[in-house]
Structure formats: structure tokens, C-alpha cells
Structure 1
Amino acid sequence: MTTTAWWVGTYPAAGAGTATGQGEGIWRVDLDPVTGGLCAARLVARTPAPTFLATHPSGRVLYAVAEADPGTVTAFAVTPDGLDPIATVGAGGEWPCHVLLAPDARTLYTSCYGSGTVGVLPLDPDGRFAGPVLAAGGAVQSLGHSGSGPRADRQEGPHAHFAATAPGGAHLLVCDLGTDDVRRLRRGGDGLLTDDGVAAHLPPGTGPRHLAVGGDGAGGHLLHVVGELDGAVHVLRWDPTTATAEPVRTVALTRTPLTAESAPYADGTPLPSHVVLDGDRLVVAVRGPDVLVVLACDPATGLPGDAREVTSGGAWPRHLAVHGDLALVADQVGGRVAVVPLAPSHAVGDGGRVLGTADVPAAACVVPVVG
């Protein structure tokens, strides 16, 4: 049987924002892509709050944030037996919740929710932290932002949640949940950043969390931005001349009721988390109802249209990865990784089907093992 391997990051057992050092760490699981079964789940590194991971394209280095105050990033050497820490450095802010590897694999970018900052950590060609990072003990740049939103409990200030490379590669786009902005940071040839303003202002109370970049079928690009606070996907068209994005469609994600297990953690509304654009379908994880919303994208326009829902396989789907017609879902409150089918044939009368599960405490992130 041929399997594929996956890294899984986790929260502390008591959940987001609680004390670290409660046994959390990085896990590894194996997927049978034919049956959807998961096996051999094992803890390969004990490390505090590794809630988001990224893999070097060589497959020899794995990066993990520690979502804490102050935040850190650890580079691990991938070995036949697991992971060996290489170095731990400052992330450039508080409560880092996302890490992005630049397309040329020479820079790491961290999104720090607590401080609203973006950290910049140059890398050597082998994926290790570059000398200036080690000399500084952390990020060589930390770029902040100002502003707020109408939700006093969530938008009292900036909250950088996610970063993606803009179409064309000249900018970094940062979802700021606290200010309802998609920030625009210009990338230099050395990977360093310059604050270049705002690419898009979203409606007040949107709470932009994550985004996916795709084509519109006519040579342009679209940004699919998930609003955590308004429960919608906002589709924006990218203008490469001005490096801005204008709204073209907003899609409400779900009216499915909250599950009993997730209800104590939700505020009474669906809370979208991660989004993946996979060919002509957009897949969004929604906490509370605990579903994956699969939206068909028009091949001619790239715009999402008809939606169907499948189970997330557990409670509080924080992150997901797509492998063929399978989704691997990190169900944080459910404490497991679940595999659910995405093919349309499974949507009719089979929306609750789960092909495989692996127990992973407070699962937060799933990324493929490279190599």
C-alpha cells in the first residue's frame, strides 16, 4: 500500500491562548489515498503551541510557529526518525498564527495575531535561518499597522492572521482581522518588506482571516477572502497596475446550525477558518456548524457559485488540506484529523461520510511531508 505522509501542528490541550507546555507538539500521520484511511499517528516533536507549519521545498526543514507571547519560530531538521530542532528565534511579534515561505524559499514571513505585526526572517539556501536572524535572535523586520473595526471584542486593534504572495510576486498580502483590511507589503529582491498601504478595504465587521489566490479564466486573478466575523467569502479582482483589489462577489457560506460540541466555543454564528482553492472548487472550513463548504467555480470567470456541504469529520475545523478528492481536516476541539470525501458523488445523502480519522490532541494545521 502506498501512503502519503502529513505533518500536524497542535494547540495546547486547553485550547488557544492557554499556557503552553502541556504536551502539545508536531505529529505525523500516514494517509492511504485510495481508502482515505489514516494510520501511524505519532508525536515526533514536543514543542510549544506549533499551530502553523511550513515545509522547505527540499523536504529537509520544517518550520513551526509557537503561538505564544512572545512568539517564536523553530526550524526543525527532518530526519528518518522524526524532527530535530535546529534553532528557535523570535517571530517578530506576539501570538504568531501563520508562517509563509516565500516562493524562492529564501524568506519566512510570520503573521502575529496579538501584535498585528508581520515578521521577516531571511533563510540560507539550505533552509536554515540566515546569519542576520541568528545574530538578532529573531525577525530582522517587524512591520505593524494601525486601525480597528466595529467588533470591540475582536477588532480593538490590528490582528494580522494570514499572508499570501500577491499575483506577480511583488507584494505580500496580509489579512488583518482587526482592521478589515488586506494589507499590502512590497517585497524587495532580498525578501525584505516595505509597508505599501492597503490593497483592499473590506466591509466593516468582515474580519478577514485567510485568503486564496486564483485565476478568473481570462488571464486575471481573483482573491477569495474568508471573513471570519461575517461568515462569508469575499471575491475581489486583482488589478496588477495599482496593486489593489475590488469586490466582485460576496457569498454567504452556511446556515447550518451549530453542533452541540462546538456551540460552547462559538458566538452563535458560523466562524469560517481556512480556505483552499483546488482547481475549479473552493473549499472553506466553517467552525460551529463543523462543515466544509465546497463551492464550484465557473471555469470561464473563476467566480464561486453553487455550494454544497460535507462534514468536517469532527468539531471545530481549524485548517484543512486537499489531496485529490479527499480533504484532511484538523478538527481542533474534536482532537483529531479526519479524512472526508469532496467528490460531488458524496454530497447527495452522504454528507456525513468520514473515511478515516487519527487522534491528535487539539489539531490545528495539516501540511504534506515533502520528499
Structure 2
Amino acid sequence: MTSRELWIGTYPVAGAGTPVGRGEGVWSVPFDDETGALGEPRQVATVPSPSFVAQQGARLFAVVEDDPGAVVGFPVDGPDRAASLVPSAPVPSGGAYPCHVVATEHALLVANYGSGTLGVLPLDAAGSLTAAAPEVHGHAGSGPNADRQEGPHAHFVALAPGGRHVLVVDLGTDQVRRYAWDGRTATPDGIAVTFPPGTGPRHLDFSPDGRFAYVSGELDVAVHVLAWDAATATGTLVQSVPAVVPAVVPAVVPPGSDEGARVDGDATGQAGSGDDVLPSHLVLDGDQVLVTVRGADVLTRWQVGTDGLLGAGTSHPLGGHWPRHFAVVGAWVVVALERSGELVVLSRDGAVRGRTALPSATCVLPRA
């Protein structure tokens, strides 16, 4: 047995948008790389709404998705992996409702969804959070969906290929914002990508050679391929495909709606449940792109061609509700099903190989 540990972030048990501080926290789950088996989950820290976690060296960091937002850190370098984690004092995230964090050597990069801001939180020489005020970068703009895009909503942060720019995926303005990056400080540097109005970009990933980027569109229920110019850190849209295959969804989200498209059929063509259909996390796994889709409750997989474009896709039912995030772990995909309160493991062919209960799971991170 080859066992490793998964860190799991969570929402309050009552779900996103409900009051925080009701016992939610960070969990640890043993995972067998060879068989895909999940061990018994154990809550290792009590933190209000730690919806996303990231690790840098001997430190684990978790956002506190609230208004105002915060980030906490935990040392995870002890010999006892079963030990509980002791959080640091929370520090401001640089805005409201932080939903994503990237840990670099000298700073944390935080996407604050509610305020639309990028927060840059300095780390000390030991890699711990400091009491210094975060560097905060705001934005302006909106989109055609009056309720979901009334202003900027930073949803995801990434370093561009080459490491010289920070990118912020902004669901509210249909843009990817660009910041020059020196390893410690972010400087506004324009817009890297502008999507068609109403796209609602959420998460992205890059091809290993840096020539293409792949972006999940939350509001248009699609996955978008960008040709990426590393020299200028600029993307050009070259392909868009439906995020559920097969599916019948509206081609355009009506302006003013606070919902994504509604599914008219699930991945098997059967009648859907009437839930909103909202793509969430996206990962490039070798020569395939994977995305989870809430409402349709599937993981969709596409083959990437030598030209960077996506071929035929396949949507795999997950047997649970509201897949918010996932991680590729060896030969397996581990998906957090928030509303059904569980983790599910899929093999490369999309077959469900196991599941375990875990309240309001929102983020899956293999321990470094």
C-alpha cells in the first residue's frame, strides 16, 4: 500500500453563503495511490469556512471565506501526521469572501471574490504569515448578467508561464487581469484576456509548453481554449466547447439572470433535476483537460490535440451533488462533492471506484 494524505477544505455544513463558524474546518484523509481507496476522514483543524487551501513547504494555508476575509496558516512539518493543526492568528485577505489562494516562496496571492480584489500577503523568512498589511489591487467593470456580474469578482489566481506575471480570472468582468510580478510585489499591467460578454470565467490551467491556456466558463457553461503569447502574457480565444457532453443548454445566459444555464438533460441524455449548471474547477492532466460541472454533477474529459484544441469530450456522472473542486492524484481523480457531503474517486476511464462521507467538501489538496 502506498498511502498519502489529502487536505480537504470545507464550507459551513449549511452551505456557501450561510454564517461561518459552525464547526467547519480542515480535514485530513488517507489515500492509497495504488488502489484509489480513501481512508477515514478526520477533522484536524476548526476554522471558519476554509473553502480553499494551499501548501508551501512546511506551511498549509487556508482562506476564511467571509466578509471581511482572512487567511490562516498551519505548520505541517511535524512527524505525527495524525496530529491536529494549530492555526495562526488570522490576517486580512485584502478583501471580501476570499475563494482561492496560491502560495509562492515570499507571498500568498489571494482572489477575493466578493470585493473583486487581489490580495498579496507577505510571508516571512520561515514561510509564515506576517502582521504586515496586504497589498491590495482592485478593479472596475461589469458584465451583462446583472446579478452575477454587477462588478468585478476575482475567482482564481495563477502565475503565467515564465513566472513574470500574476493572472487574476475575473468572473464579473469577463476578463483575465494581468500584473507584473517580481516574486514579492504585483504591479497592474493591463488585461491579458477579454472573453465574450457573459462568459463568467472561473478557473484556468496552462499547457506544459505554455502555448495554450484552458478556462472554465461558469456562466456560459463552456470550456475555452486560448492561444497564449508568453512574451506579452496575452491570450487569444481560439475554441469554445460545451462543458457537458452531450447536453442541451441555452446558448446565451439572459442578461439580468442570477443563474447559469439550466440543464435539459444529464450526461446520459435523461431529464435533469432543474439545478443550475455551473462549471467549476479545471485541470490539464497530461494530454487531457478535465472540468467538473455542478448541477449536471459530472466530470467532463477532453483529449487535447497536437494543435492544442479539444477533441471529443465525455462527461462522467459522479453519483453525487455539486462537484466544486478536484485533484488529480496519480492515476486517480478525487472530487469534492459539496452538497452531497462526500469525496468520490474516479479512475482514468471515468468509473467511480470509491467514496467517503465528508461534510461540505470544497477543496482537495494532496499533501506536499
Q: Does the alignment reach a TM-score above 0.5?
A: yes
Q: Aligned partner of 1:62: which letter?
A: L
RMSD: 1.8
Tell me, yes or no, if structure 1 residue 188 matches structure 2 residue 182: yes
User: Which position in structure 2 is the counterpart of 1:233?
Assistant: 223
Tell me, yes or no, if structure 1 residue 330 matches structure 2 residue 336: yes
Q: Aligned partner of 1:149: which letter?
A: G
Percent identical among aligned pairs is 49
Q: Separation in 1 of the partners of 2:90 and 2:60?
A: 12
Q: Separation in 1 of the partners of 2:153 and 2:273?
A: 24
Q: Separation in 2 of the partners of 1:15 and 1:263?
A: 19
Q: Aligned partner of 1:301: which letter?
A: D
Can you list the C-alpha shifts for 1:293-332, whole angstroms capped at 9, x where unaligned? Answer: 011111x222221211212342100000001221100000
User: Which position in structure 1 is the counterpart of 2:93?
Assistant: 91
Q: Report the Cα offset of residue 21 of structure 1.
A: 1.1
Tell me, yes or no, if structure 1 residue 199 matches structure 2 residue 199: no
Secondary structure of 1:108's partner?
A: strand
Q: Aligned partner of 1:73: which letter?
A: V
Secondary structure of 1:84's partner?
A: coil
Q: Report the Cα offset of residue 220 of structure 1.
A: 4.9
Q: Separation in 2 of the partners of 1:258 and 1:153?
A: 26
Q: Separation in 2 of the partners of 1:25 and 1:90?
A: 18
Q: Report the Cα offset of residue 96 of structure 1.
A: 0.2
Secondary structure of 1:355's partner?
A: strand
Q: Separation in 2 of the partners of 1:293 and 1:369?
A: 25
User: Which position in structure 2 is the counterpart of 1:279?
Assistant: 286
Q: Report the Cα offset of residue 355 of structure 1.
A: 1.3
Superposed, 1:122-161 pairs within 5 Å as 122-129=122-129, 133-136=130-133, 139=134, 141-161=135-155
- The answer on whether the counterparts of 2:74 and 2:87 sit within 8 Å (CA) in structure 1 is yes
| Unmatched runs of 5 consecutive residues or more in structure 2 | 248-262
User: Which position in structure 2 is the counterpart of 1:47?
Assistant: 47
Q: Report the Cα offset of residue 83 of structure 1.
A: 1.1
Q: Aligned partner of 1:331: which letter?
A: L
Q: Aligned partner of 1:33: which letter?
A: D
User: Which position in structure 2 is the counterpart of 1:349?
Assistant: none
User: Which position in structure 2 is the counterpart of 1:291?
Assistant: 298
Tell me, yes or no, if structure 1 residue 302 matches structure 2 residue 305: no
- The answer on whether the counterparts of 2:108 and 2:120 sit within 8 Å (CA) in structure 1 is yes
Can you list the C-alpha shifts for 1:190-228, whole angstroms capped at 9, x where unaligned? Answer: x2111111001000000000001114xxx5511101100
Tell me, yes or no, if structure 1 residue 364 matches structure 2 residue 362: yes
Secondary structure of 2:88's partner?
A: strand
Equivalent residue in structure 2 for 1:177, among 167, 171, 175: 171
Q: Separation in 2 of the partners of 1:329 and 1:76?
A: 24
Superposed, 1:344-363 pairs within 5 Å as 346=350, 353-363=351-361
Tell me, yes or no, if structure 1 residue 253 matches structure 2 residue 231: no
- The answer on whether the counterparts of 1:313 and 1:329 sit within 8 Å (CA) in structure 2 is no
Can you list the C-alpha shifts for 1:257-305, whole angstroms capped at 9, x where unaligned? Answer: 3599x946x33xx21000011110111000111000011111x222221
| Unmatched runs of 5 consecutive residues or more in structure 1 | 347-352
- The answer on whether the counterparts of 1:326 and 1:339 sit within 8 Å (CA) in structure 2 is yes
